[in-house]
Amino acid sequence: MGNSNPGDPTNAMVENYVEMPDTINEEIAELIGAHIGDGNSHVRKSDYRLSIAGNAAKDQEYMSFLANLFYKNFKIIPKIYVRKNNSIYLIVRSKKLHKFYIAQLKLPIGPKANITIPKFIVSKKNFLVACIRGIFDTDGSVVIQKFGKYQYTSISISTTSKRLAKGLAANLKQLGFKPYICKRKPTLRSPLEEYSVRVKGWEQVRKWKELIGSHNPRNSIKLNQIAHGQS
């Protein structure tokens, strides 16, 4: 898919059709979660950009799902780019939407070292569930491990933000889960500390499937396998 110049007349026309919602809903809460998990926002001259990254081999269907949420709620059609390094990016160029993300959704520009789930999301259970689903579908995974005849299953969400990890663990406790945090020290390949928020065991993962769920096939397929007692 081709690039467009953010200053050209076509972009100006697109900007005029972007709609800002009167209220926040669960779909926007889920977009907030996806942004917290693997999103970014930046401004470069007149280029106001929001992006969400993923794995091209695993996340193409999920990126289409997110693109549909953007269209349903803001009447804007994101661009989806697949790179040669097997990464995939959903990109939205809109000054109006960029400012809405900062002012109304309370999401920061640039690095997300201190990012956390906004308070207005945490205060409503349905918003919190949707937001966590968005984080899970961008930065989380379902792990099914086999040791002989035994199987162990867990949910893991990874982040380099200690603040987000602690907040997410607290939010999951609020929803009735039993999370714990694992810390990985920096390495030459990964120079930042990484925190994994995890819940483990069939009961906890089944609860996750029922309450939070997933809209990303790479996670939802495994959750469905667990729900039906399959490996």
Task: Note whether 227 and 209 are within 8 A (CB).
Answer: yes
Element of type H or E holding 198:
strand 194-200
Q: pLDDT digit string (tens) for 101-136? A: 999 999 987 767 788 999 999 999 999 999 999 999
Q: Same CATH topology for 9-113 and 132-227?
A: yes
* Cα 91 to Cα 11: distance, rounded to the nearest angstrom: 13
The pLDDT averaged over each successive group of 10 residues in the chain (231 residues) is: 38 65 96 96 88 95 98 95 94 94 88 86 97 97 82 91 95 97 78 89 94 97 78 45
Dist. CA 12–CA 175, nearest whole Å: 43
Q: How far is 61 from 81, CA to CA, in rounded Å?
A: 13
> How is residue 44 written in tokens?
């470069």
CA–CA distance from 108 to each of 32, 52, 67, 93 (Å)?
Answer: 11, 14, 21, 16
**What is the CATH number assigned to the segment(s) 132-227?**
3.10.28.10
* Extents of the domains making up the chain: 9-113, 132-227
Q: Which fold has domain 9-113?
A: Endonuclease I-creI (3.10.28)
- pLDDT tens for residues 5-36? 433 333 444 565 788 998 999 999 999 999 99
End-to-end CA distance of the chain: 38
